[in-house]
Structure 1
Amino acid sequence: MAKLNWGMVGGGEGSQIGPAHRLGAGLDGEFAFVAGALDHRPEQGRDYGQRLGLDADRAYGSWQDMLAGEKDRPDRVDLVTVATPNATHFEITRAFLENGFHVLCEKPMTMTVAEGEELVHLANHTGRICAVNYGYSGYSLVRHMRAMVARGDIGKVRVVVAEFAHGHHADATDADNPRVRWRYDPAQAGVSAQFADCGIHAMHMASFVTGQEVERLSADIVSGIPVRTLEDDAMVNFRMDGGAVGRLWTSSIAIGRQHGLAIQVFGETGGLRWSQEQPNQLYYMPLGQRLQVIERGEGNLSPEADRTSRVTVGHAEGMPLAFGNIYADLAEAIRARKDGRTMDPAANLYPRAEDGLRSMAAVFAVAESGKADGVWVDARPPMFR
């Protein structure tokens, strides 16, 4: 079976996220890395692309050059990953969708709700895939957690608690470091810092696992380092459309926390908890019974978990493999469209443009509520109200 052609915008040399995408896309042999515009500096981007193995004529100096060079090729890329600075996501994603490419965009998908709604409409109009890289939803046991909730193993969900807290921006003497400062600058980051950066991962995880969407929320946001205009810590209470109550804490000033993404779900007949720093174990407590530890890699967990477990039980799987599961989902979706068939339902879990839109609506809702001392606000995008 021929590989699908894959290209990347952004993710250049020294990028934090670029290597994870390249590892993930190449994991299963589904995608061939054939084109890229990897740096905003044309010469550096072309040079790095060729060092990664791209042909000289497909190592582009800009995303505009890549779009022009790829759109009429008979062997053009099947999927474009957008891994550029946040403010450029919308423009680049829109341009490639308009020209018939499938797109995987890094989060946040856009900087405004209106831009998010435009991309949802555009993806629906063109029939192209517009996916958003909530890559943590690719972990095998996260998918098993979702399957357990869906099949009723813990009964009706009552409460979901999500966290994404780290301490890597806690040093006040480092607040003027350009690599840190931009994250708290409204001109570059928008209306939110920590919630838009990390909190939306935790909120997406809550929706992904429970199968419920956030309807309204109340937020308490603070700048623990006072010179910051935007928040570095937020506590968000929310209500979901299936009746679940949500609690979310996100912080960049939690000294002692390293990554800190975790989720707990409590239902009528049981509870579940999982942490991204210990991704091989899912803790399950049935009502009135003893705690059970579910190990990643055990046989016959669920189709969603079995499909996405890559190495034998007892060995660690990490973020690039979770990204690989998102790419495997997308490969199955693209091939199903090419073949005119229904895709494997266990693979139909990649985050959509609708997820990116809901996240952006939540970002603005958190900012609005936080400025109004926690007033409850509608967290839904206008098109979903």
Structure 2
Amino acid sequence: MTERLLPETLDFNRPFPALSRRLRLGVVGGGRISATQATAARMTDRWEVVAGALSSDPERAKARGAEWFMDPDRCYASFIEMAQVEATRPDGVDAVMITTPNNLHFPAAKAFLEAGIDVICDKPLTNEVDEATALIDLTAQTGRVFGVGYVMSCFPMIRQAREIVAEGRIGNINQIHVEFLQDWMTPDDAADAPHVKWRLDPKISGPTSCVGDIGTHAAHLASFVSGLGMTDLRAEFHVCGAPKPLEDTVFMFTRFQNDVPGTLMATRLAPGNRGGLRLRIYGSEGGLEWDLENAEQLKFYRFGEADRVISRGHGHGVSTVTERLVRTGRGFSEGFIEAWANLYTEFAMAVAARRDEVALPDDWLSFPKVAEGAAGVQFIAASVRSNEKGGEWVAI
């Protein structure tokens, strides 16, 4: 009998269903974000981490794998070997998370797609636009599921904000503002830390540092909630702290579909800001504001009416669609790990549906996909071109 993961009968208006077994997840890259994502994936009760390429050194790979309670035979020193071997095992991984430095995203994702394994990859998707385009094509050719780690789009109040905009409750959008302010690079010696050095190395990080790391989160969030693609931008890169080979700050004017204007700024040198991702969208009838450091609340304004604050939870202004991503009642906080868990829950539903050959409604799952990852790479490339031209407007 062929294995079936999803229930025979699906009610797409209900919470996401349990699967018949946990999906098997592999890990490529052994840094801090891989541990964060693995914790979140386990939280969903839909994934178990079973294999990994956590280091290119064979002994270190096995030692790191032991910390993750992996079978020594499934601790690989090469993601290419991992893809080939896991694809032939009867209990091979159902999907792989890729959390390596940026320059390895493309070859790792390519290897697993070609092996027939579903992929979820950290952002930026790749360092080059042609590589991102190649992954879109390869995903289509293989028919595999490809998720991208724009986790900010998976907070419940962001999903609620997206619904409010889509329903026309703020009217026609007339401006979009987004910023991502952090302060961890303020000390002059911050760049000496091992996990920071590669982020400032163009051979590894790509042509940007701040833009590719947190600017892409801001750009994706603005388009995700507004439903409008960014079409043009003008960017200025700055090094506001100690000298560095790549920017630590960026200021942008942006333009979206329908000629909607906006602004975007990102920096790692704003003391007092740890996760200062803030989104503001205003329209002809109202507006929305959301702040990552107060992620459980969404400010919703309609001109001429009392201001509202919608809080994460069940009911009281939260839609049934958003409630699928809510785990605890109001007053019992949820945050970053839960947002990652929401991403991995939706990714699991997509992987299970592909394996079961079940067609899903287009609006059932909203996790970021490969095309959104490619849009992020195009955004980065456009920002580089604009900065090189002295901050001229360029098309994305």
TM-score (norm: length of structure 1): 0.93
Deviations 1:278-306 (A, max 9, x none): 11110111111111010100316223311
Instruction: Summarize the Cα distance change of 1:337–1:175 in structure 2 as closer, same or farther, 3 Å threshold.
Output: closer
Q: How far apart, in 2, do the equivalents of 1:345 and 1:144 lie?
A: 17
Moved more, 190-199 or 176-185: 176-185
Q: How far apart, in 2, do the equivalents of 1:121 and 1:290 lie?
A: 48
User: What SS does the aligned partner of 1:277 have?
Assistant: helix
Counterpart check, 1:37 vs 2:29: no
What residue is the counterpart of 2:298 in the other structure?
A: 282
User: What SS does the aligned partner of 2:88 have?
Assistant: coil
What residue is the counterpart of 1:310 in the other structure?
A: 327
* C-alpha contact 2:102 2:206 (8 A) present in aligned 1: no
* C-alpha contact 2:162 2:224 (8 A) present in aligned 1: yes
CA shift, 1:347, in A, is: 4.1
CA shift, 1:333, in A, is: 0.9
Q: Could you tell me which of 25, 32, 39 is aligned with 1:6?
A: 25
User: What SS does the aligned partner of 2:215 have?
Assistant: helix
TM-score (norm: length of structure 2): 0.91
Any stretches of 5+ residues in structure 2 without a counterpart?
A: 1-19
What residue is the counterpart of 1:374 in the other structure?
A: 391
Counterpart check, 1:324 vs 2:341: yes
Any stretches of 5+ residues in structure 1 without a counterpart?
A: 380-385
Deviations 1:103-145 (A, max 9, x none): 0001111010010000001101111112111111111111111
User: What SS does the aligned partner of 1:248 have?
Assistant: strand
CA shift, 1:64, in A, is: 2.3
Moved more, 174-183 or 319-328: 174-183
Letter in 2 for 1:323: W
What residue is the counterpart of 2:211 in the other structure?
A: 195
Letter in 1 for 2:111: A
Deviations 1:13-38 (A, max 9, x none): xx220221111111221112221112
* C-alpha contact 1:236 1:249 (8 A) present in aligned 2: yes
Deviations 1:326-385 (A, max 9, x none): 111111112222233233655411111111111111111111111212111111xxxxxx
What residue is the counterpart of 1:240 in the other structure?
A: 256
* C-alpha contact 2:50 2:74 (8 A) present in aligned 1: yes
Cα-Cα RMSD: 1.6
Q: How far apart, in 1, do the equivalents of 2:71 and 2:364 lie?
A: 32
Task: State how 1:145-184 maps to structure 2 within 5 Å.
Answer: 145-184=161-200
Deviations 1:131-183 (A, max 9, x none): 11111111111111111111111111111111111121122344455543432
Q: How far apart, in 1, do the equivalents of 2:361 and 2:255 lie?
A: 31
What residue is the counterpart of 1:104 in the other structure?
A: 120
Q: How far apart, in 1, do the equivalents of 2:77 and 2:134 lie?
A: 27
Moved more, 106-115 or 253-262: 253-262
Instruction: Summarize the Cα distance change of 1:182–1:68 in structure 2 as closer, same or farther, 3 Å threshold.
Output: closer
Q: How far apart, in 2, do the equivalents of 1:298 and 1:243 lie?
A: 36
What residue is the counterpart of 1:382 in the other structure?
A: none
Q: How far apart, in 1, do the equivalents of 2:350 and 2:195 lie?
A: 37
Report how many residues are paired: 376
* C-alpha contact 2:120 2:147 (8 A) present in aligned 1: yes
Q: How far apart, in 2, do the equivalents of 1:182 and 1:65 lie?
A: 24
Q: How far apart, in 1, do the equivalents of 2:350 and 2:112 lie?
A: 18
User: What SS does the aligned partner of 2:296 have?
Assistant: strand
CA shift, 1:272, in A, is: 0.6
* C-alpha contact 1:169 1:180 (8 A) present in aligned 2: no
Q: How far apart, in 2, do the equivalents of 1:210 and 1:176 lie?
A: 38
